[in-house]
Amino acid sequence: MKKTLFTLMSVSLLAAGCCGDDMPQVVLPEIDTTNPLLAQWDTPHQTPPFDKIELAHYKPAFETAIAVSRAEVDAIVKNPAKPTFANTILALEKQGALLNRIGGVFFNLNEADTSDEMQKIAIDIQPQLTALSNDISLNPELFARVKYVYEHPGFCLSKEDKKLLENSYKDFVRSGANLSEEDKALYRQYTGELSSLTLKFGQNSLAATNAFSYNITNPKLVAELPDFVKEGLAMEAKARGEKGWTVTLKAPSYGPFMTYSSQRAIKEKLWKAYNSRALGGEFDNSDNIRRITELRLKIANLLGYECYADYVLDNRMAQNTPTVTAFLEELRVATKEYAEKDYQTIAQYAKEQGLKGELMPWDFGYYSEKYKNEKYAVSDEMVKPYLKLDNVIDAVFMLASRLYGLTFTPAENITVYHQDVTAYEVADKNGEHLAILYLDFFPRESKRSGAWMTEFRGTSVDDGKEVRPLVSLVMNFTKPTETTPSLLTFDELTTFLHEFGHSLHGMLAEGKYESLNGTSVYRDFVELPSQIMENWAYEKQYLDLWAKHYQTGETMPTELVEKIVAAKNYLAAYSNIRQLSFGLTDMAWHTLKEPYTGDVEAFEKASMESTQVVPVVEGTAMATAFGHIFSGGYAAGYYGYKWAEVLAADGFSLFQQKGIFDTATASAFRKLLSSGGKVHPMDLYVEFRGHKPQTQALIDQMGLTK
């Protein structure tokens, strides 16, 4: 669903005269402007009035907005004038603005601050949205107009206009516009069921994550934990009305406990619970996975593809399944033996430390952290005091200022959706308004796990006036305790930089059409801006500017910075193989040519076998909580993380050559960011870097060159 700024006067679309300006006349249904979701937003930068929006407002707002969207489409179809770019393609780009505005609020909050009632609304409204989408994409009269303009574009279209026209036509075709009426009916059936199942998958995953906790009352079992871990677990127990310390499956709780605790029996329970979320039991996703992949296969077959991956990759930078398969295999072959050595190194170390038996997955985090601390004399506990969240925020903003001239000012006059959220006004170096940025850092039961960037609204031009984006970063970082501020792990620092890279892609967008701006790019290209930003976390020149002890104000010692840099490639091959295993199982699910009716756990084991380094544990599977591919947008696309890592490794080498704060290099990269999807990503990359990326760049960066 594209997100464009709503205006009741949808008919006031600008059109180039030579392309036709007989605009559709829209007869709008009655709109209840007492509903804040339907009223004009008289707020700073037309930001959502979160303080006025109640759950009861969503369903009537969605129903009205769906009716408005239908009226807008109907006006395009019934326009007696000859189809033109303006009265058909541009009108389609602008239609649905009200619906997209409401959806931009609802679906983002359903991820970041949901409730049982909100999830019920989502289940109720999703079929209506899917039906509307199908009614648009499968409308033969509407497609006829689009096809006419595609075949008769005229001579006055800009490159940006032509790209919008090309995408519009291709989107219709990929959404079933060329199907027979019989197959269109099947397409509606399949996509309707699929949208409901993917939503249910995500709800089950969240519920399964929240359903498990482990309470510890014996102080001896937590005595060895760093204070920040104990304080966090104690806060969790207190919030639940429990005594002692409580571990949950949320990342800031689960991760540190698995890293710092030697309590093997407890960790085995935690690991098995985490890696069997929604595998059996009340929130089982096994049937959902089988049906989701079957429906995707059916849709792909209807559209003329052998498998769903072929359908997806036809619209990606990689272009086809053989390319992705070869790419993953090239990385697997180049790094597998090093990953096995990584595992054996930790296994041998654990044995020397007194571990009895085989090194199991729940042991790996603890012993790998101890080994890192010995080999590199660096640990999260040593680094965290220098990564106070407030300082990290300033540091990330400072980096954006050094590279792109941006400034970030707290916007206290802008309402937010939760008390933990802070809004910032972002300005360019000339003081011009660029964006509103929302930051939401801490975990809660109403928020799904992980970290992500999203938009309440993207960039566009409406009636000749530029509309700037409303960008949000949502994370699950270590909370402050009663005695300590939020101190980040090094992984949390890199996560922040990663998501901030996505936000730059959105905030620096330039262009007329929201569907071509910001992160509206090929999925295997969208991770480049985020992956490349992570590199600065390892640069001494950058860390020296801001990493100071939260108590003493002492700058991070040079020795510690050097240890962090030296440890950068610690277990790099192991981590790479682990990521490849996710990409391979994703491709296995989505290259199926027949529906899979077997055991989900067995399928996963077979699909990951070539990357298996640690022992396999029966009764576990990550697929049932693999939201990226079963409820997110990464189906047949998880390889894109590694694909983008190659781009980022090669791209950052230019900053290393020219200087990590070099403004000329940053200016060239900003051009790539601001271009969005208007230009093919390979062309953008080659213009920035001067050559096509090579896989060897990533292998070299990991230090694995033979």
- The dihedral built from the CA positions of residue 14, 17, 19 and 22, taken in this order, carries a sign that is positive
As a whole-number percent, the residues of the chain with pLDDT over 90 amount to 91
pLDDT number for residue 21: 61
Tokens of 295: 């429906």
Share of the chain above pLDDT 70, in %: 97
Strands (DSSP E) along 233-291, which ranges? 245-248
Structure tokens, 487: 């101190």
- Supply the pLDDT for residue 482: 85
pLDDT, tens digit, for every residue of 67-118? 999 999 999 999 999 999 999 999 999 999 999 999 999 999 999 999 999 9
Residue 1 clears pLDDT 80, i.e. is over it:
no
Phi then psi dihedrals of residue 460, to 5 deg: -160, 175
Q: Is 499 a catalytic residue?
A: yes
Three-class secondary structure of residue 471 per DSSP: strand
Q: For residues 165 and 37, is the Cβ–Cβ distance under 8 A? A: no
What is d(CA 425, CA 433) in angstroms, rounded to the nearest whole number? 8
Does 9 have pLDDT greater than 80? no
- Summarised one tens digit per residue, pLDDT across range 458-493 is 999 998 999 999 999 999 998 898 889 999 999 999
**Domains of the chain, each with CATH number or no CATH:** 17-178 (1.10.1370.40), 212-274 (no CATH), 385-526 (3.40.390.10)
| Spatial separation of the C-alpha atoms in residues 573 and 298, rounded to whole Å | 37
pLDDT digits (tens, 9 = 90+) for 155-177: 899 999 999 999 999 999 999 99
- Supply the DSSP symbol for 249: S
pLDDT, tens digit, 9 for 90 and up, residues 639-691: 999 999 999 999 999 999 999 999 999 999 999 999 999 999 999 999 999 99
pLDDT over 50 (residue 289): yes
Residue 31 DSSP symbol: -
Which residues are within 8 A (CB) of 342 and not within 5 positions of it... i.e. 6 or more apart?
A: 571, 573, 574, 613
111, 294, 499, 645: which is the annotated catalytic residue?
499
Indicate the helix (H) or strand (E) that contains 141: helix 140-151
**Under 8 Å between Cβ of 256 and 231:** no
- Residue pLDDT, tens place only, 546-593: 999 999 999 999 999 999 988 999 999 999 999 999 999 999 999 999
Count each helix (H run) and each strand (E run) in the chain, helices first.
27, 9
Using the predicted structure, report yes or no on whether residue 12 has a pLDDT greater than 80.
Answer: no
DSSP output for 442-489? S--TTS-SS-EEEEEE--EEETTEEE--EEEEE--PPPP-SSS--B--
Q: What gap in Å lies between CA 341 and CA 335, rounded to an integer?
A: 10
Mean pLDDT of the region 177-198: 97
